[in-house]
Amino acid sequence: MHIWNAPTFVDRRGKLFKAYVEGPVPSFPEVFVTFEHFFTESKKNVFRGLHFQGAPHSASKVVTIVKGRAIDFLLDVRKTSKTYGFIQIQPLNGEEPHSIYIPEGVAHGYISLEAGTIISYRQDKAFCGNCDGGVSGDILEEYLPLKFEETIRSERDSSLQQFSNFIYQSKCTG
């Protein structure tokens, strides 16, 4: 994982920030080819995740906070990794934008701390629903500002498997 401050330029009109820069003075040490770019907008106390796209179409992501405040969580689910099970936590604030590179095999999620929080996602592969994986965010309860059961989650996120029972099984045939 790699975290960087987005270069930000402020003037009387407002601000411009560059979430990702490639070239002579890059913001990230590798070229990241974007296949998809999408945004989420969340109400306060929405928990999204922990999601990843596994084999055979594993994907990396760059996420950037655009507006609001959130706590971002990463969980290494690569069983062969020396950091397997490691949780990384990054506070996010739209007033001081950061971008986070999330490598293949690392699950990502966040909790929004205020209404209207917007997160930008750039992914280097097409979304594959059959390769979509996830782990329940309940493993993060001690890091949340409220009980996990009180967070607002999708039906899918509410049914993700516990990390202690985690087994990734792709449904992809190609």
Tell me which residues are annotated as active site: 51, 121
Give the 3-state DSSP-derived string for the chain, with helices as H, strands as E and coil as C: CEEEECCEEEECCEEEECCCCCCCCCCCCCCCCCCEEEEEEECCCEEEEEEEECCCCCCCEEEEEEECEEEEEEEECCCCCCCCCCEEEEEEECCCCEEEEECCCEEEEEEECCCCEEEEEEECCCCCHHHEEECCHHHHHHHCCCCHHHCECCHHHHCCCCHHHCCCCCCCCC
